[in-house]
């Protein structure tokens, strides 16, 4: 964030604080959770475990999910939350101070912007946005309304990953020239599912929201929405955005690269999936490269990143004096011409993807009105998500793309530049003026 942006953010925060419910150190933050699928249920449990938090409201377009969510909250907190079928009604209510957006990707930006406009702080799941342009609108909304906005990239709050990045900053492997992110997460074929009537209790129009209206089928709902361009971003924007963020974080890059080139395909399967299950992308920063690889099919390990439960998830960093391997089991630093192990932090069992420490930093920022407590601010989330979107755009148009920072478009490529945003379905359009 530049100096003028920081000034606007903190001025906005000061203005918003005038209307903010004054909190003491022992007060609970009242949270509303929007989206109660598998990840939403996990966050209900994680927020319930916070000593300074109370889930006051929940929302989902699926009545069955809403009922499950209410049962979870009653069991965990001993009191029922207020239930909403429409997120704007929850945002307009006085029951909550902050909201967790756990919807499918295509809803993240609009939901977060609406919440900011209603005076709520926002925890939004990854990827921060579904398109590049709308990510900028999220940043603008957080700044304008002085809201705390954290993205659910919890690696930023994992202690050994923080230490590994600090070692890279200190030059433990010399000058970095390459970061490689690995997302080899086994994904089975989703098969084909027919069009059928919308299940009772599901608001299909509300589920699709900004996306085009499509006939209901099971593959377009529940988890498999990840594999359709209109609602998801493939695995690079699902599991992959975590490792993409770590790769960019490790390189110390706070701006978009000069160019991107991606290639791959959907191999082996004949099913409904639109997004690739194999994707190799390269990002040119001028003085360094970031390489990212997605594989959903059977694979082996990647040398220093082990195969665990059929998956290879982690990052490799290369410098003038050695290299580092980083994953949930710890990190290893190898130096010199003999590639000798120079430093490591190792766990007997891999660290879990526990969102609770990450949520705790968000709640601290909400209570103190100090954005410095956030460990994955919206600006960081949008930058990392944008790299995933760039890779998908390059793959879809089939060529290398050069970025023009002056116009915020791909140089000389209107087809690719149009894919930086989308045609929103009324009345679910991300506003041009937030």
Tell me the mean pLDDT in the region 351-372: 95
Residues 144 and 36 in one domain: yes
Residue 424 domain flag: no
Question: Rounded to a whole number, what is the distance in angstroms from the first to the last CA of the chain?
Answer: 18
Full domain range(s) for residue 267: 159-350+385-418
Strands (E), 154-277: 176-184, 259-265
Whether the CB-CB separation of 332 and 321 falls below 8 Å is answered with: no
Q: What is the pLDDT of residues 52-100, one digit of tens each?
A: 999 999 999 999 999 999 999 999 999 999 999 999 999 999 999 999 9
Residues 254 and 114 in one domain: no
Q: Which of 276, 254, 255 is nearest to 266 (CA)?
A: 276
Residue 137 domain flag: yes
Residues 116 and 245 in one domain: no
Residues 52 and 192 in one domain: no
Whether the CB-CB separation of 275 and 227 falls below 8 Å is answered with: yes
Residue 138 domain flag: yes
Instruction: Give the number of other Cβ atoms within 10 Å of residue 58's Cβ.
Output: 28
Q: What is the rounded CA–CA span in Å between residue 26 and residue 355?
A: 22
pLDDT-based confidence at residue 5 (cuts at 50, 70, 90): very low
Distances (CA, A) of 400 to 74, 143, 261: 52, 33, 4
Residues 244 and 368 in one domain: no
Return the pLDDT at 111.
Answer: 98
**Residue 232: burial class (beta carbons within 10 Å; 0-12, 13-18, 19+):** buried
Residue-averaged pLDDT of the chain: 94
Instruction: Give the number of other Cβ atoms within 10 Å of residue 213's Cβ.
Output: 8
Distances (CA, A) of 31 to 46, 47, 259, 324: 12, 8, 40, 39
Give the rounded percent of residues in the chain with a pLDDT score beyond 90: 91
Residues 46 and 66 in one domain: yes
Q: What is the rounded CA–CA span in Å between residue 431 and residue 112?
A: 12
Residue 97 domain flag: yes
Residues 62 and 148 in one domain: yes
Residues 275 and 369 in one domain: no
Residue 379 pLDDT greater than 80, yes or no: yes
Return the pLDDT at 25.
Answer: 58
Q: What is the pLDDT of residues 382-410, one digit of tens each?
A: 999 999 999 999 999 999 999 999 999 99
Q: What is the rounded CA–CA span in Å between residue 232 and residue 96?
A: 28
Residue 193 pLDDT greater than 60, yes or no: yes
Q: What is the rounded CA–CA span in Å between residue 241 and residue 221?
A: 21
Reported as type and span, the H/E element at residue 137 is helix 132-145
Return the pLDDT at 2.
Answer: 47
Return the pLDDT at 348.
Answer: 79
Residue 15 pLDDT greater than 50, yes or no: no
Reported as type and span, the H/E element at residue 395 is helix 378-397
Whether the CB-CB separation of 102 and 34 falls below 8 Å is answered with: yes
- Indicate the number of domains in the chain: 2
Residue 8 pLDDT greater than 70, yes or no: no
Q: What is the pLDDT of residues 206-257, one digit of tens each?
A: 999 999 999 999 999 999 999 999 999 999 999 999 999 999 999 999 999 9
At 100, which CATH number?
Answer: 3.40.50.720
The residue among 187 and 15 whose pLDDT is bigger is 187
The residue among 7 and 264 whose pLDDT is bigger is 264
Residue 19 pLDDT greater than 50, yes or no: no
Whether the CB-CB separation of 195 and 343 falls below 8 Å is answered with: no
Residue 178 domain flag: yes
Evaluate the omega torsion of the peptide bond into residue 127 and state whether it is cis, within 30 degrees of 0: yes
Return the pLDDT at 140.
Answer: 98
Q: Which of 17, 27, 73, 18 is nearest to 51 (CA)?
A: 27
Residue 180 domain flag: yes
**Is this model's pTM higher than 0.75 or not?**
yes
- Report residue 316 as tokens: 């490799």
At 306, which CATH number?
Answer: 3.30.360.10
């Amino acid at each position: 964030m530049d100096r003028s942006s920081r000034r606007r953010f903190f001025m906005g925060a000061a203005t918003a604080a005038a209307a903010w419910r004054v909190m003491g150190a022992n007060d609970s933050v009242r949270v509303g959770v929007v989206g109660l699928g598998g990840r939403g249920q996990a966050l209900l449990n994680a927020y319930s475990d916070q000593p300074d938090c109370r889930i006051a409201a929940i929302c989902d377009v699926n009545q069955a999910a809403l009922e499950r969510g209410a049962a979870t909250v009653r069991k965990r907190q001993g009191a029922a939350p207020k239930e909403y079928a429409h997120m704007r009604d929850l945002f307009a209510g006085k029951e909550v101070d902050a909201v967790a957006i756990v919807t499918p990707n295509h809803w993240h930006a609009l939901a977060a912007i609406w919440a900011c406009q209603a005076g709520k702080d926002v925890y939004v799941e990854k990827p921060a946005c579904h398109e590049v342009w709308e990510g900028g609108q999220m940043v603008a909304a957080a700044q304008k309304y002085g809201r705390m906005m954290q993205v659910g990239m919890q690696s930023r709050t994992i202690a050994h990953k923080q230490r590994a990045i600090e070692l890279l900053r200190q030059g433990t492997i010399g000058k970095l020239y390459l970061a490689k992110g690995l997302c080899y997460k086994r994904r089975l074929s989703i098969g084909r599912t027919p069009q059928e009537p919308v299940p009772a209790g599901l608001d299909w129009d509300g589920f699709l929201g900004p996306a085009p209206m499509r006939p209901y089928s099971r593959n377009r709902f529940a988890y498999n929405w990840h594999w359709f361009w209109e609602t998801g971003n493939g695995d690079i924007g699902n599991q992959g955005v975590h490792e993409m963020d770590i790769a960019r974080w490790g390189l110390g890059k706070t701006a978009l690269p000069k160019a991107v080139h991606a290639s791959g395909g959907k191999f082996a399967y004949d099913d409904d999936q639109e997004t690739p299950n194999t994707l190799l992308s390269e990002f040119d920063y001028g003085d360094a490269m970031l390489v990212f690889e997605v594989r959903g099919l059977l694979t082996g390990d990647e040398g220093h990143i082990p195969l665990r439960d059929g998956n290879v998830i982690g990052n490799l960093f290369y410098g003038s004096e050695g290299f580092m391997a980083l994953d949930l089991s710890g990190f290893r630093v190898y130096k010199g011409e003999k590639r000798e192990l120079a430093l490591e932090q190792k766990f007997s069992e891999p660290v879990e993807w526990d969102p609770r420490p990450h949520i705790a930093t968000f709640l601290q920022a909400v209570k103190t009105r100090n954005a410095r407590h956030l460990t994955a601010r919206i600006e960081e989330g949008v930058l990392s998500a944008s790299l995933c979107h760039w890779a998908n755009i390059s793959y879809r148009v089939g060529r290398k793309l050069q970025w023009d920072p002056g116009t915020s478009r791909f140089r000389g490529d209107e087809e690719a530049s149009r894919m930086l945003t989308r045609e929103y379905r009324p009345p679910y359009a991300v506003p041009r003026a937030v």
